[in-house]
Chains A and B, each alone.
Chain A
Amino acid sequence: MGRIGARYVVNRMLAALPVLAGVVVLTFVLVRLLPADPAAFFASGPAMGPEEIEALRRQLGLDRTIPEQLAIYVRGLLAGELGRSLVTGQPVAADLAARLPASLELTVAAFALAVAVAVPLGVLAAARPGSLLDHLVRLIAAAGVAMPPFVTGLVLIHLFYVLAGWAPDPTSRSDPYLPSSPPVTGFLTIDTALDGNWGQFRAVCGRLVLPAGTMALFALAPLVRMTRAAMLDVLTADFVRTARALGLSRARILLVYALRNALVPVVTTAGMVLSYMLGANVLVEKVFAWPGIGSYALDALVASDYAPVQGFVLTVAAIFVALNLGVDLLCAAADPRVGLE
C-alpha cells in the first residue's frame, strides 16, 4: 500500500504539470485580451504624455508580441520569477509568499470552525429527521448560502465592533500599536506564539474571530447539507438495520458505522469548499482589510496589472491540484473500496 501510494502521488503530480502549463498560457493570453493598457493606467500622474506612456510600455515589455512576452515570462517562471507587480511595486513571488499565509491562516481557521460545527449538526439532523433541530439546521444552512459573505461580515462588524465594542477594529491582522514578531511561517498566530509575544498573540487571535466566523458561516451550509444527506442515505442501509437488530448502542451506530460510511461525500465536499474558500474569499478579505491573495489579485485585475493576476491563478491552480490529491487520499483512507489506481 505504501509503495503504491507513493507511486500514485508522484504520478498524480506529473499529470498535473500539463494542467498547470495550460493554466499559465491561458491566463497569460486572457489578461492581455482585456481592453486596457497598463501603461496608460500607471503613467497617469501629472505631466505624463504619450512619450512617458510609451517609455513605460517599453519598460514593461508590452511593446513586444504576445509570443515573445510569453517566452520571456516562461523563462522567468522556470527561474522561479513571477514578474513584478505595478500595484505594489514588489516582485509577485514575494507578494504571494507574504500573502498566502494570511489567506491560509484565515481559510484554515474558518474551515476548522465550519467543520467542527457542521459535521455534528448534520449528524444530529440526520439522526432525527423532521425534528425541530433538523428544521433549524436547514434554516441555518439556507441562510448561510443566501447571505453573501460581505453582508455577514458587515453585520458581524456592526454587532460586535460598533454596537457591543467586543471585537477589535476590522482594519488589520495584528495590533499596529504592539510590537510585531519576526516572520517565520507567515501565520501570525504561530509566529507570535514562537516569539512568546503573547500580547500580540491575543490581538491576532481576536482579529481572526470575526472574519473566520464570517467565512465559516458561508462554508457551513454545503457541509451541513452534505453531512445530513449522506447520513440519511447511510442510515437506511442494510448494515445499519443489522446493527440495530444486533442491539448496538445508538451512539456507536451513528458515530462508528454510519459516519465512517458517510465520510466520502463529506470529505469530497469539504475539499471543494476549502479550495473554493481559498480562491473566493476576496470580499471577506476586503471587508476585514485582510492582506490575502484574493484581494491582491482583485486589485491587480482592476489595475490591469498582468503579472500578479498570472501569479495568483497559477498559485491557486497548484493549490487545487494538491487539495484534490489530498481529498482522494483521504477518501481512500475512509473507504477502502475507493481504490488508488
Chain B
Amino acid sequence: MKRRDFLEGGLMAIPAGYLAMQGIGPAVAQGRAETLRVLSDGVPNTFDPSGAGANRDANGFSWNVYSRLVRFGRYPVAGEIYHYDYDTLEGEVAESWEVSPDGRSITFRIRRDATFHDGTPITAAEVKWSLDRAVSMPASARQMGTGSMTSPDQFVIVDPRTLRIDFPQEDRFALPNLALTFPAIINARLARQHATAADPWAAEWLRENVAGSGAFMLDSFTAGQQIAFARFDGWTCGPMPRLRRVIHQLVPAPSGRALAVERGDADIAVGLPPQEIEGLEGKPGVRIVSIPMRNAFQFIGMNNDIAPFDDVHLRLAIAHALPYRAMFEGVMRGRGRPLFGGTEWIPASAAWPAPQPYATDLARAREHLAKSKVPDGFATSFTFNIADEAVAEPLAILIQEALAEIGITLEIAKVPSAQWGTLQTEKKVPFFFDVSVAWLNDPDYFFRIFYSGDWRWNYGSFRNAEVEALLAEVRFERDRAVYEAKVRRIIEIVLAECPIILLWQPSHDLPMRDDLRGYTYYFHRQVDYRVLSRG
C-alpha cells in the first residue's frame, strides 16, 4: 500500500476497478504531477486588487490572476531560489516603455498578443480604466500617490496599443508602484458591465468575480476554505507557467500544514512558526527555502511621546542593553540578517536598513541611563501581538532579564490581534515588539513611512524637523550624489536619536517538497505560481 488508503479503501470495500471505470485514476495521476497544493493560514477575502480590508492571501490571489504593466526582475539567492530585484523592472503587459527626457512622462507600448482570460485583447483603454480605478479606490489611492499617480487625468490613451502617464514631476517611485499588486490590469469591458452610478468601479462585482489578465484563472472557490486555479493557456505576458493547476487551501493548524508537506500530501506550507520549521529540517523530501527579506524588519518600538521614552538617553540605554546575540541566535535560530552590531554612527553608505551601531554593552547602557531622567531605572510594560507570540514571547523574556540588569523592570503584556491595530493606531503602547514591511525599498521611502508622519506606521512617533526637511528635499531629487548625502544625514540623525531599535530582517522560511524549482520571494510574501516548476 503506497498511500494511506486503509481508511479510505479498507473500510469501504469498493472494487478498485470502479475508479478506472469512472476514468478518475489516470486523470488524478496526471493531476498530481502538474498540480501544486499549497496549505496556508488564510484564503483571500476579496478578489479585488483594490479591495477594502484585503488580507495577505488576497494579494497573492490578484498577483496570480492579474498581470501588471511591469514586474520586478529577480536574482538568485540559493540553488534555483530567487528574491525579487527591486532595481530591475521588466515588461509584463507592456512590451516596452520609454521615459521622456525630463522624466515627466512614461509611454508604455502594450504587447500585441496580450489578452484577457475571455480572449479579448488588452488595449490602452482597459489599461487606462484599471489605472484610473487604482488611483480612485480608497484602498489603493494612497499607495499610488507615493508614485505621484493621483488622478485619472494622468493616464492618456495615445493609440490602442500605447498609453502615456504624465507626472507633475519625475518620480523614481512611479515605475516600482506599477509593479505592485494594486495597478492590476483588469478586463474593463467585462467589469464595466457591472458598474453602477453608485459603484462606478464595479467594486461589488470585482470583489467576488475575476476579470483577469494573469497567468492563472480562477477555477473554483469555497469561501474561507479553498481556492483552485487553472493555468490560462493564452497568457503571453511572460514565460508560460509549468504548473497547470494550483490548489490553495486553508489549514488552520500549523502542525497539520507541516505534517502534510512532510508526508508529501501537500507541496508548500505557508505561515509556519519557527518551531514547526525547525521540526521539518532534514526530513527526506522536504526543502526549507530560507530567504532574508530585504523589505521586512522586526524591531523594538518605543513611543517617543510617552515618558520616559521621550528621553534619548533612556532610548540609547535600552539600545545598548538588549541581548542581541542571544535574541538572534536563540529565538531566530540565526535566520535572517542582523540589523545590530554595526560600527558607523556616521554612515558611509546610504543603503538602509543597515546594521545600527548598537551592541550589547551594559557599561555604556548604564552611562546613558545615568544621564537620563530616570537614572535609577523604572517600571513599564512590554507589549506584543499574540499573532507574533512564537517569536515575541521568548524575545520578551530575554529583554526582561537584560533590562533588569540596568534597573528597568518590565511587565510582559500580550494583546489579541484584533486589538493590536487599534492600540497601534491610537499610539497607546509605550514599549513593544512588532514586525513591518515596506513595499518599496528606497531608503527615503522607509524613513518617510516609519520615521515621520502622524500615523500608525511611525512606530516611534518620531518627529524631527531636520529629518522632515531632508525627506521633503530628497523626495524628487534626481542627482544621486545629493540624494545619498542627504539620506546619510537622515541615517545619522536617526541613529543618534534612536526612536526605535531595528533588530533584524527576518528570513522568509518556507518548507516545500524538494522537487519544486524556481521559488521566488516577492514583497507581498505570497507564492507566485507562475515561476514554480517540478524538477
Residues of A within 8 A of B (CB): 34-38, 40-53, 55-56, 59, 85-90, 94-95, 98-99, 154, 157, 160-162, 164-172, 175-180, 198-199, 201-203, 205-206, 209-210, 285-289, 291, 295-296, 299, 301-304
| Cβ–Cβ contact A88 & B224, under 8 A | yes
Contact A203/B421 with A49-B142, A89-B223, A177-B31 known, Cβ cut-off 8 Å: no
Interface pairs (26), CB distance under 8 Å: A34-B418, A41-B417, A41-B422, A43-B53, A48-B139, A48-B142, A48-B456, A50-B425, A85-B45, A98-B223, A161-B4, A169-B260, A171-B249, A171-B265, A172-B251, A177-B35, A178-B24, A198-B14, A202-B8, A202-B9, A206-B5, A206-B7, A286-B252, A288-B253, A291-B224, A291-B225
B418, A296: Cβ atoms closer than 8 Å: no
B12 is an interface residue with CB less than 8 A from chain A: yes
Q: Check if A176 sits within 8 Å of B247, measured CB to CB.
A: yes
> From A173, which residue of chain B is reached at the shortest CB distance?
B225
Interface string of B153-195 (1 = CB under 8 A from A): 0000000000000000000000000000000000000000000
Residues 246 to 293 of chain B near chain A (Cβ within 8 Å): 247, 249-253, 255-257, 259-260, 263, 265-266
Contact yes or no, B12 A205, CB < 8 A:
yes
Chain B residue at smallest Cβ distance from A45? B54
Closest B residue to A162 by CB, please name it: B259
Contact B12 A202 (CB under 8 A): yes
Please measure, in the bound complex, the distance between the C-alpha atom of A75 and the C-alpha atom of B452, giving whole angstroms: 44
Question: Are B222 and A89 touching (Cβ within 8 A)?
Answer: no
Q: Cβ of B11 < 8 Å from any Cβ of A?
A: yes
Residues on A with C-beta less than 8 A from B439 are 46-47
Bound complex: CA of A175 vs CA of B9, how far in Å?
13
Q: Which 7 A/B pairs are nearest by Cβ-Cβ distance? A: A42-B53, A166-B6, A304-B418, A206-B8, A89-B45, A40-B421, A36-B418
What number of residue pairs across chains A and B have CB atoms under 8 A from each other?
210
Q: How far does the Cβ of A63 sit from chain B's closest Cβ, in whole Å? A: 15
Given contacts A176-B37, A203-B8, are A171 and B418 in contact (CB under 8 A)? Answer: no
- Which residues from chain B contact A51 at a C-beta distance below 8 Å? 138, 142
B contact residues around A85 at 8 Å (CB)? 45, 224
**A contact residues around B404 at 8 Å (CB):** none
Asked whether, in the complex, the Cβ of A50 is within 8 Å of the Cβ of B259, the reply is no
A38 and B52 within 8 A (CB): no
Residues of A within 8 A of B62 (CB): none
- Measured between alpha carbons, how far is A176 from B37 in the docked complex, in Å? 9
With A40-B421, A56-B53, A89-B45 already in contact, the answer to whether A166 and B223 are too (CB < 8 A) is no
Contacts of B263 in A (CB 8 A): 161-162, 165, 169
Considering only residues 32-54 of chain B, those with a C-beta below 8 Å from chain A are: 32, 35, 37, 39, 43-46, 51-54
CB-nearest residue of chain A relative to B425?
A: A40
Contacts of A286 in B (CB 8 A): 252-253
Q: Please measure, in the bound complex, the distance between the C-alpha atom of A55 and the C-alpha atom of B45, giving whole angstroms.
A: 18
In the assembled complex, the CB of A136 is this many whole angstroms from the nearest CB of chain B, namely 26
Q: Within residues 103 to 146 of chain B, which ones have a CB less than 8 A from any CB in chain A?
A: 138-139, 142-143, 146
Q: Is B438 an interface residue (CB 8 A)?
A: yes
A178 touches B253 (CB 8 A): no
Residue of B51, B142, B252, B454 near A289 (CB, 8 A) is: B252
A94 to chain B, nearest CB (A): 7
User: Assuming A88-B224, A90-B224, A172-B249, is B422 touching A37 (CB within 8 A)?
Assistant: yes
From A158, which residue of chain B is reached at the shortest CB distance? B259
Residues A36 and B4 in contact, CB atoms below 8 Å apart:
no
Give chain A residues whose Cβ lies under 8 Å from the Cβ of B5. 206
Q: Does B380 contact A (CB under 8 A)?
A: no
Determine whether the beta carbon of B421 is less than 8 Å from that of A88. Answer: no
Determine whether the beta carbon of B7 is less than 8 Å from that of A168.
yes
Per the bound structure, the CA–CA distance linking A35 and B14 in Å amounts to 55
Q: Smallest CB–CB gap between A113 and chain B, Å? A: 13
Q: A88-B43, A169-B260, A206-B9 are in contact. List 20 more A-B contacts (CB 8 A).
A: A43-B52, A44-B456, A45-B139, A50-B425, A53-B425, A85-B45, A86-B45, A86-B53, A157-B259, A172-B249, A177-B37, A198-B12, A202-B14, A205-B7, A289-B249, A289-B253, A289-B256, A302-B416, A303-B417, A304-B418
Q: Does any Cβ of A come within 8 Å of B533's Cβ?
A: no
**Given the complex of chains A and B, what is the CA–CA distance between A180 and B228 in angstroms?**
12
Question: Are A37's CB and B7's CB within 8 A?
Answer: no
A-chain residues with CB within 8 Å of residue B7 when the two chains form the complex: 160, 166-168, 205-206, 209-210
Q: Is B19 an interface residue (CB 8 A)?
A: yes
Q: Which of B54, B139, B228 has most A Cβ within 10 Å? A: B139
Contact A36 B22, CB 8 Å, known A169-B265, A289-B253: no
Residues of chain A lying within 8 A (CB to CB) of residue B11: 202, 205-206, 209
Let me know if A87 and B224 touch, CB within 8 A: yes
Once the chains are docked, how many angstroms separate the CA of A199 from the CA of B85? 46
Instruction: Write out the residue numbers on chain A whose beta carbons fall within 8 Å of the beta carbon of B437.
Output: 46
Contact A40–B259 (Cβ < 8 Å):
no
Q: Which of B4, B31, B39, B456 contacts A168 (CB 8 A)?
A: B4
Minimum CB–CB distance from B105 to chain A (whole Å) comes to: 24
Q: In angstroms, how far is the closest chain A Cβ from the Cβ of B18?
A: 6
CB–CB A289/B417 < 8 A: no
In the complex, what distance in Å separates the CA atom of A87 from the CA atom of B223?
Answer: 10
Q: B28: CB under 8 A from chain A?
A: yes
In the complex, are the beta carbons of B142 and A52 less than 8 A apart? yes
Asked whether B455 is an interface residue with its Cβ less than 8 Å from the other chain, the reply is: yes
Whether B207 contacts A89 by the Cβ 8 Å rule is yes
Is there contact, CB below 8 Å, between B253 and A95?
A: no
Q: Given the complex of chains A and B, what is the CA–CA distance between A161 and B24 in angstroms?
A: 24
For the complex formed, measure the closest distance between the CB of B230 and the CB atoms of chain A, giving whole angstroms: 13
A88 to chain B, nearest CB (A): 4
B51 partner residues in chain A, CB cutoff 8 A:
89
Q: How far is the CA of A299 from the CA of B223 in the complex (A)?
A: 13
Which residues on the B side are within 8 Å of A285 (C-beta)? 252
Residue B419 at the chain A interface, CB threshold 8 Å = yes
Nearest residue, chain A, Cβ from B438: A46
Contacts of A86 in B (CB 8 A): 45, 53
Q: Counting CB contacts under 8 A, is B409 at the interface?
A: no
Question: Given the known A-B contacts A52-B142, A169-B260, A171-B39, are A199 and B22 also in contact in the complex, defined by CB atoms under 8 Å?
Answer: yes
Contact B226 A176 (CB under 8 A): yes
Minimum CB–CB distance from A65 to chain B (whole Å) comes to 19
The answer for the CA separation of A301 and B416 in the assembled complex, in Å, is 10
**Are A94 and B4 touching (Cβ within 8 A)?**
no
Does B419 lie within 8 Å of A36, measured CB to CB?
Answer: yes
Minimum CB–CB distance from A306 to chain B (whole Å) comes to 11
A89 touches B46 (CB 8 A): yes
Residues of chain A within 8 A (CB-CB) of B438 are 46
Q: Are A171 and B422 in contact (CB under 8 A)?
A: no
Q: Give the interface centre of B14, B19, B418 by most chain A CB atoms within 10 Å.
A: B418
Determine the residue in chain B with the shortest Cβ distance to A295: B252
**Once bound together, how far apart are the Cα atoms of A99 and B226, in whole Å?**
13
Contact A169 B266 (CB under 8 A): yes
B8–A296 contact, CB under 8 A?
no
* Cα–Cα distance between A288 and B260 once the two chains are bound (Å): 12
Chain B residues near A99 (CB, 8 Å)?
A: 224
Contact present for B421 and A177 (CB under 8 Å) = no
In the assembled complex, the CB of A214 is this many whole angstroms from the nearest CB of chain B, namely: 13
Report the bound CA distance from A331 to B7 in whole Å: 37
B397-429 at interface with A (beta carbon < 8 Å): 416-422, 424-425
